[in-house]
Amino acid sequence: VIVLCNLKPRAMRGIKSEGMLLCSSSPDGTRVAPLSPPEGAALGELVTFDGWASEPVAPGNKAGKAFDRVAEDLSVGEQGVATFRSVPFQTSAGACTSEIPGKIS
């Protein structure tokens, strides 16, 4: 799975969480599926985007606000590839995918 890290800690069902699982959802909102790294991607590997600098945001509120600014530009296309502004979520082993085309949240 692909997890957005460095978020402000909060309790989720009584458990402290500092990350958010990224999922795609169908346009009608009836189906949801997690984003998956390609086979061979290293556990904990940073996802990158060709042409974009990869400087992680410091932990806390700023990370959540950064996600809010880019969330509208995240999606999974008909081929199942997760993208930011049409640029694939990339690992050393290839692109990240999801079974359901749609918005990422």
Distance of CA 61 to the CA centre of its chain: 17
* Tokens found for residue 32: 């949801």
pLDDT of residue 18: 84
Three-state DSSP at 102 gives: strand
CA-based torsion, 60, 63, 49, 103: positive or negative: positive
Task: Give the SS3 label for residue 64.
Answer: helix
Structural domains counted in the chain = 1
Residue 17's domain comprises 3-104
| CATH number, domain containing residue 88 | 2.40.50.140
Would you state the pLDDT for residue 4? Answer: 86
pLDDT lower than 50: segments of the chain: none
In this prediction, residue 60 carries a pLDDT of 62
